[in-house]
A and B are shown apart, each in its own frame.
Chain A
Amino acid sequence: MDVVNQLQRQFIDNSASLHREGFLDDQFTQLQKLQDENSPDFVVEVASLFFEDCEKLINNMSRALEQQQGVDFKQVDASVHQLKGSSSSIGAVRVKNICVAFRSFCEAQNREGCLRCLQQVTHEYSLLKNKLQTLFRLEKQILAAGGSIPGVE
């Protein structure tokens, strides 16, 4: 039972720091509440969809911003809008906030600003992905050791 307690404590700490450092907001907690025995992998599944979506959108933005013959800012903005939508829905607040700034640069047709935001968004998304994957791994370990996931009331 010591192992389970340790894992549970780590889970709680990781979860708390994700919220405290502004990686995730209450929307993520809402998603955790939607998980039940009918849909035990819901949060992992939605997170996976989000990561796939991020990667696809970041690639689109990157390609559009690299265009030598002139950047189609409308195209970049369309991808940023999508990313803002998904990050908001999953509670990825730091990613979402960068998207807000990113959209202003698109509107101003500022390539440098856009490239900076693209860099930031890529960085934030990677950080969040790592932290969530750690959290999900802890969940699996807790369940495998016969414990229950703490936290969500």
Chain B
Amino acid sequence: MTALVVDDNIVNRAIHLRLLDNLSIENEAVGNGKEAVDIHCSGKTFDLILMDMDMPIMNGIEATRKLREMGIRSMIAGVSTRSMEQDVREFIEAGLDDYQEKPLTMSKLISIIHKINGNG
């Protein structure tokens, strides 16, 4: 299984990558939504994308919409600190398969992965 971490925060990236390493999931990280789109344009695909919401240049909502428009069918899990229903709904409607509130923990990540396996 492969995963892409999309987060502008260096501490969060380190933690998310470690969680994935711990589960032996091959992983890469980028710092914003535009880099996430670019990496897909270069031909790479991932089974799982962990998408932060608030990022500079292109945020998680825009990036999710763009990836779906490009035909990317990977599991996209939104991971954010936002808890207001309105914000979360907008993020989910952009094309998420799942949403988890930060901070991400091992049990939250495992529940996201179970969803992938459930559909696979």
Binding site for B on A (CB under 8 A): 27, 30-31, 33-34, 36, 38-39, 42, 45-46, 49-50, 52-53, 81-82, 84-86, 88-91
User: Do B103 and A88 have beta carbons less than 8 Å apart?
Assistant: yes
Q: Mark B residues whose CB is within 8 Å of A.
A: 8-12, 14-15, 18-19, 21-22, 54, 81, 102-106
Q: Which single member of B12, B18, B54 contacts A42 (CB below 8 Å)?
A: B18
Residues of B within 8 A of A42 (CB): 18
Least distance between B50 CB and chain A CB atoms (Å): 13
**Residue numbers in A under 8 Å from B10 (CB-CB):** 49, 52-53, 86
The 7 closest A-B pairs by CB, nearest first: A86-B11, A89-B103, A50-B11, A85-B9, A89-B12, A49-B11, A34-B18
What chain B residues lie within 8 Å of A53 (beta carbons)? 9-11
A82: chain B residues within 8 A (beta carbon): 8-9
Question: By the criterion CB–CB under 8 Å, are A27 and B18 in contact?
Answer: no
CB A16 to nearest CB in B, in angstroms, measures: 22
CB-defined contacts of B102 to chain A, threshold 8 Å: 85, 88-89
Give CA–CA (A31, B19) in the complex, Å. Answer: 9
**Dominant secondary structure at the B interface:** helix
Which listed residue (A36, A84, A89) contacts B15, Cβ 8 A? A89
Contact (Cβ within 8 A) B12 A86: yes
Return A13 CB to nearest CB of chain B, in Å: 26
Question: A30-B105, A33-B106 are known contacts. Are A89 and B11 too (CB-CB below 8 A)?
Answer: yes
How far does the alpha carbon of A89 sit from the alpha carbon of B79 in the complex, in Å? 12
Docked Cα-Cα span, A53 to B103, in Å, equals 17
CB-nearest residue of chain B to A88: B103
Known: A81-B54, A89-B104, A90-B11. 6 other contacts (CB 8 A): A30-B105, A31-B15, A34-B19, A34-B22, A45-B14, A49-B10
* Chain A residue with the shortest CB-CB distance to B107: A30
Given the complex of chains A and B, what is the CA–CA distance between A133 and B24 in angstroms?
A: 30
